[in-house]
Structure 1
Amino acid sequence: MTSTAVRSEQDNGERLLAGDIRALRKARRLTLAEIALKLGRSVGWVSQVERGLSVPSLGDLRNFAELFGVPLSLFFSHDVPAEKERGVVVRAGSRRSLGTSESGLVEELLSPDLGGSFEMLRSVFAPGAELKTEARRPTEEAGYVASGTFEIEIGGVWHRLDEGDSFRFEGKPFRWRNPGAEPAVVIWVVSPPVY
Structure 2
Amino acid sequence: MDQTHRHSTTLGADIRALRRTRGLTLQQMADALGRSVGWLSQVERDKSDPGIDDLRAIASVLDVSISTLFSNAPSPAHETGRIVRSEARRAIGPGEEGLREELLSPDLTDDFEMVHSTFLPGASLPAPVQRPTQEVGYVISGKLDIEIGGHLFHLEPGDSFRIKGEPFRWMNPYETPAIAVWVIAPPVY
Give yes or no for the alignment of 1:70 onto 2:32: no
Question: Normalising by the residue count of structure 2, what TM-score does the alignment of the two structures yield?
Answer: 0.92
State the distance in 2 between where 1:193 and 1:102 align. Answer: 18
Give yes or no for the alignment of 1:38 onto 2:32: yes
State the distance in 1 between where 2:126 and 2:109 align. Answer: 30
Give yes or no for the alignment of 1:192 onto 2:186: yes
Where in structure 2 are there 5+ consecutive unaligned residues?
A: none
Q: Deviations over 1:136-191 (max 9, x none)?
A: 11111010000111111111111111111000111111111011100000101101
- The AA in structure 1 aligned to 2:31 is L
State the distance in 2 between where 1:14 and 1:163 align. Answer: 36
- Partner of 1:84, secondary structure, is coil
Shift of 1:87: 1.1
1:27 counterpart residue number: 21
Return the match for 1:92 from 86, 97, 101.
86
2:101 counterpart residue number: 107
State the distance in 2 between where 1:190 and 1:50 align. Answer: 23
4+ aligned runs moved over 6 Å, structure 1: none
Shift of 1:24: 0.8
Q: Deviations over 1:89-126 (max 9, x none)?
A: 11112111236988100011111111111111110000
Give yes or no for the alignment of 1:57 onto 2:30: no
- The AA in structure 1 aligned to 2:140 is A
CA RMSD, 1 decimal = 1.8
Give yes or no for the alignment of 1:161 onto 2:155: yes
- Partner of 1:145, secondary structure, is strand
Q: Is the 8 A contact 1:90 1:110 kept in 2?
A: yes
State the distance in 2 between where 1:101 and 1:21 align. Answer: 19
Aligned length: 187
Q: Is the 8 A contact 2:64 2:94 kept in 1?
A: no
- The AA in structure 1 aligned to 2:100 is V
Moved more, 123-132 or 100-109: 100-109
- The AA in structure 1 aligned to 2:92 is L
Where in structure 1 are there 5+ consecutive unaligned residues?
A: none
Q: Percent identity?
A: 51
Q: Is the 8 A contact 2:135 2:164 kept in 1?
A: yes
Question: Normalising by the residue count of structure 1, what TM-score does the alignment of the two structures yield?
Answer: 0.89
